[in-house]
Chains A and B, each alone.
Chain A
């Protein structure tokens, strides 16, 4: 019994650590190859990063601690600064 429990625990631990590559079902077309969409390794554009940060900050203290919110706000400022400097830095 104990052995089974430990093995299940180990299997769970292993499964949790494997990155979720399977975000696209087999029936779907491979949008990542086709149109660079839904890639598991997708990176954010600066605009997506700003949008995501704004969305997370909106969740407020229900989800994040005050320190975490400040960190998100700092990251948002950093992203906005970079976007601004891309075009206005001489």
Chain B
């Protein structure tokens, strides 16, 4: 694999070069917030790399859009026209953080088991991840507790390090190599001093992570807390909104709805959340998770117990968005720490 550098001021030029062969998505500044989107002339401006810690909505929305047509149909005449994205398209995601890339590797397992999901998987196949290492993590970041780190390149195709005036670029996979070759005329050769600067940055960034959780034993412990009043200390103040799940890079739940304009219809899927009351409500009105206590329990247990039981990995990358954006300070680290401390009576 190869390494390169480019001048930070030439970033637009670089993206322009990439756009010749790829559809380029990058963090954009959109009415005050940073969110990934397609880089387009006349569209929202590119977010300054040193200005944002991470996008508010995770880039999962690029592979798993909030609303997505599954197929179209015309009422009365039958016939179903699938709308599956092309696996052969070339999409580059520029500036994704290591945690959000790790999240893709986690949801890959779910979208791949049994009946593979062609919508997610085709986009995944067509996407090249050009990650940007974090040099100043947020106060809510805890990626180092979940096998990741601010400069972890394991789940990227290309890893970038912001070295001030220059960006250091390292290809991690063949896909990444191919992309870099396609823009090689815009890249310069890297020197050993660049590599050294990166290594220093990695050490420094990891030391800036302020929060952590020891996940040992949590997947086994949570089911034992099923009936425990422990959950109420968090669910009592839960608003039951969708922030923690919609902004979670590993949350993948969805609803499917039919929408019809006169005769033209579509079946679409859209993000859903286990924090909404209607999510599990039966048509009869019975709800197996009738209050926010059961719903809070499900959210945390799903990430830290059910998902690892099914897939062998915790469905959390420590990006801290659920903590940062929760309006009532429901802090998953706090929940997990307290879950370890709760004493459970042996069933007898």
The yes or no verdict on A and B being binding partners is: no
